[in-house]
Amino acid sequence: RVFRAHLEAAEMMQKPVVLHVVRSFEPVMKILSEYRTYGVVFHGFVGSIQQAKRAFNAGYYLSFGKRTLSSSKGREVITIAPAHLIFCETDDNPDIDIEEIYKEVSELRGTTVEELRKQTADNYRKLMRHDSLA
């Protein structure tokens, strides 16, 4: 009930939602399909490749932190993620500098830290402009 109320408010205000999903990916995706979203970010993503692809196909963003990097599945997701649908974060471990996350993610993706930083900034601007309607 609370999740639906949150989605209704986001829809009414035309705002994106940031979700922390633990062992409930399928029900969350089903509920999201019932709403017009103005951007969805799966923060601290640690799901499977199949879940990641479903999120990307829906136009949703995934955000990667230390937990993602600590998982072999997470590292694989990072390598296949479309650049225009990713973010990096330190929420799961505030003692880690974001530069460390950028460094590890950029290495996995075969790009530079500077390019990754630019891409995630562009993704943020896009998300906030509502260009990412799903």
Q: What is the pLDDT along the chain (134 residues), one digit of tens a residue?
A: 999 999 999 999 999 999 999 889 999 999 999 999 999 999 999 999 999 999 999 999 999 999 999 999 999 999 999 999 999 999 877 789 999 999 999 999 999 999 999 999 999 999 998 644 44
| pTM given for the model | 0.92
Contact 88, 116 (CB under 8 A): yes
CB-neighbour burial class of residue 95 (10 A; exposed 0-12, middle 13-18, buried 19+)? exposed
Task: Give the separation between CA 51 and CA 82, rounded to whole angstroms.
Answer: 14
